Amino acid sequence: MLTIRPSGHRRSPALTVALPSQALMIIAATVVVLVAAAIRPVVGAAGIGDPYFPLAGNAGYRITAYDIGLRYNPATDHINGHTTITARATESLSSFDLDLRLPASAVVVNGHRARFVQDNGKLKITPVAPIVFGSAITVAVDYAGVPSSISASADTDSPWVRTDDGAVAVGEPAIAAWWYPCNDHPSDKATYTVTAVVPAGLQAISNGVLLAGPQHTGPGLDLWRWQETEPMATYLAFIAIGHYDLVRRDTPYGPYLAAYAQAVDRQIPGARASIEQTPQIIGYLTAIFGPYPFHQLGGVVPNTRKLFFSLETQTRPVYAEAYFATSTNITVVVHELAHQWFGDSVSLRRWSDIWLNEGFATYAEWLYDQDHGGLTTTQRAELVYANHPADDAYWHIPPADPTAATVLDPAVYSRGAMALQAFRTEVGDKAFFTTLRSWTAEHSHANGSVHEFLALLTRISGHNIQELARSWLYTPTRPHCSPTTSCISPVAPH
């Protein structure tokens, strides 16, 4: 029998429920099966389940924090690293993987040295004792090597970029495994502490708040320590090492810290003139998307012409100097700062959800341009639509399912922004902008999918947008309606 005793000062009569013995046996057997399933150790899968990148990330655990320690020699591009990871098991594990491209020399799991092998960027770890479902895991990894010597693939250079006086680790979709062991997928976000020891006189810049540095730590060596306390996707963590001028000030959105490579700052004044407008741009974006989701802000411009893109590295975007070679460039700053909401705070669930990052950041450019004397979003959308006739290969890339090879194709950006204009045309400004603010609030510091965003837009607007979404986001042909033409009739809200 099962006995439930009410709480209280006075003892009450027991409420007794009798179950047949056969039912009790079934319940007991079910419990045994469930417990066995939870504790039976398995080999953690190499790959978190992303259809585009099957080997990205790993299964069997969720990481909560990284503590990354590096010693870097710019002359040889050599790293000595010691990273400690805290995680929690989502399965009982006999072994599990981390992503790491540099050679590991030692692995310790929960205080005991573990066996490991490395193969094709996977660090396969077998602890002394199996990891129990739901338990905490602490993994410490020693490793060393020259990250720039390791290619991303047979025909792709390393995303770790050497500069004239140091290096910068920045890339998408992959960069993390070139400088620290990780669960390399945006769906497993964690907090970060990054400590770098570099030759005295150099600066080491990373995400979040500067906790220490420059701090003398040995003959000719300085230590820098940074911390990002909000969850961050692995590819958004970065480090930039070299001669930088640091600019700091307080803002309404938190402490501002920008780093400008000294050589670039002297030769390309447009970089500083653009990035120093970061607080004002964030102020503009908060009025549209909601409160700024982080506690720090800024930017970094490394000294290298080998970097051909800018990236929304969390709290402190990294900008290629080429964007400012001829003049100021506010557009790129708006784009990367919009990502702080769309991509950084609300991260994609799978790489097929990339439209949630790039289409939204591009549309933020259009909004900013409209409100600062440029084309309206309607004019911009019509212009892009007209510039791509139906037989243009541009339309072969559906923004919500672009394939792994074209995950960062220009169509994901501008066709993705046109899709947002099309949704805005259909549902109206109030429902559209309410959805954007609700999205950033409901999924703050978490993950989201295209399906979830469309469901939210449908719920808030009361419109059936299924056909519109199919046409603009999933079909590899030119939509028959322009993004500023209403093609669908609304339905009553449920």
Least Cα distance to 145 among 70, 207, 195 occurs for: 70
Q: Are residues 463 and 352 in the same domain?
A: yes
CB environment 5-44: b (16+ within 10 A), e (fewer): eeeeeeeeeeeeeeeeeeeeeeeeeeeeeeeeeeeebbeb
Q: What is the pLDDT of residue 9?
A: 36
Whether residue 217 sits in one domain with residue 280:
no
* Residues 6+ away with beta carbon under 8 Å from 252: 279, 283
Residue bearing the bigger pLDDT, 326 or 192: 192
Output the pLDDT for position 20.
Answer: 57
List, for residues 464-485, the tens digit of each pLDDT value: 999 999 999 999 999 998 898 8
Per-residue pLDDT at 22: 63
Of 340, 371, 399, which closes a domain? 340
Mean of pLDDT over the chain: 92
- Report which secondary-structure segment, H or E, holds 381: helix 377-386
199 and 278 co-located in one domain:
no
Segments forming the whole domain that contains residue 279 = 243-340
Q: Looking at the predicted structure, is the pLDDT value of residue 122 above 60?
A: yes
- Same domain membership, residue 384 and residue 452: yes
> 458, exposed or middle or buried, with CB in 10 Å at 0-12, 13-18, 19+?
buried
Q: Has residue 224 got a pLDDT over 90?
A: yes
CATH number for the domain that contains residue 399: 1.10.390.10
Range in 139-143, 234-238, 489-493 the model is least confident about: 489-493
pLDDT tens across 1-36, in order?
Answer: 322 333 333 333 333 444 456 655 566 555 544 454
d(CA 468, CA 287): 27
Residue 298's nearest CA partner among 326, 322, 277, 325 is: 277
Sheet strand arrangement including 115-119: 42-43, 93-99, 122-126, 115-119
Same domain, 332 and 362: no
> What confidence tier does 343 reach under pLDDT thresholds 50, 70, 90?
very high
**Mean of the pLDDT values across residues 201-209?**
98
Task: Find the CATH number of the domain harbouring 149.
Answer: 2.60.40.1730
Residue 138: inside a domain, yes or no?
yes
Number of domains in the chain: 3
The model's pTM is 0.90
Instruction: Calculate the CA 381 to chain-centre distance.
Output: 27
Do 178 and 278 lie in one domain? The reply is no
| CB-side neighbour CA atoms (13 Å) of 25 | 3
Question: Is residue 455's pLDDT more than 70?
Answer: yes
- Would the CA dihedral through 244, 72, 145, 311 be positive or negative? negative
